[in-house]
Amino acid sequence: MSEYRTAASDGAGFGAGSSPQILRTSVKLASLFLILPLSACGLNKVAAPPEVAYDYHDRHPVVLAEAEHTIDVFPPPLGSRLDNESYLRIRDFVSRYRKLGQGKITVLAPTGGVQGSGRASVDEVRHALAAAGAEHSVFVGTYPVADPSLAAPIRLSFIGVKAKVKGNCGEWPDDLASGGSFEGWQNKTYWNFGCANQTTLAAQVADPRDLATPRGETPADIETRMRAINNVRKGVDPNTQWATKSTSISAVGGN
């Protein structure tokens, strides 16, 4: 009986006559090529952050920094004294200094103005600072008046913790009407968006430290607590019901 042989049986390709070692190597290589794309998919689970922050909280964050706190006290005409509003502003300024400030309070009197009453009012400002509790923490200096036609106030300042926006507002790195570029067609907020709102929020914070940590709890109302405990002991409902009487602002339109 004659033996029928083909090219495959003679060892060409991966037929029955192929070497077992070559076959095993080929199977391993094929398996490796199938696994590599799957493993690459698992490596990129976290997308890279964008080059430019899209949210205004990231572009213009409110931060706490050592900055200058200032107020301007406008001196009265010659022969007059500081009014009550100026004293209240100075007292509030000293209160913020004792809570947030460090170093000395700087008092700068204008020189070169037409009125010449700024220097005369420095003593009153110092007395107001001393009355508010900053008697030994004052440094007095002068500054030149650039325009004599404008009001020249007495400037009080100190260095302390302050809430401010990181960076400057009013920056426009891109053209808002760049319809001819690819960036102009993207649905993104412009760079300066939200900066004014963040600046206003930082200026309205009474205590900048509240942005970092909450304040400590104040002591409980002892009278309210004892009233509730006594009602529980008596078997009375300790709930408080506030009765309000509806009052009409005007008689127009009926009650």
What stretch of H or E contains 154?
A: strand 154-165
Top pLDDT among 121 and 252 is at: 121
Residue range 221-237, pLDDT digits in tens: 899 899 999 999 999 88
CATH number for the segment(s) 66-162: 3.30.1330.60
pLDDT level of residue 1 (50, 70, 90 thresholds): very low
Residues 6+ positions from 69 with CB-CB distance below 8 Å? 93, 96, 97, 100, 101, 157, 158, 159, 160, 162
pLDDT level of residue 9 (50, 70, 90 thresholds): very low
Map out the domains of the chain as residue ranges: 66-162
Phi, psi torsion values for 104, nearest 5 degrees: -110, 160
Q: How far apart are CA 172 and CA 192, in angstroms?
A: 7
Q: pTM of this prediction?
A: 0.60
**Is residue 53 over pLDDT 70?**
no
What DSSP line would sit under 115-126, residue for residue? S--HHHHHHHHH
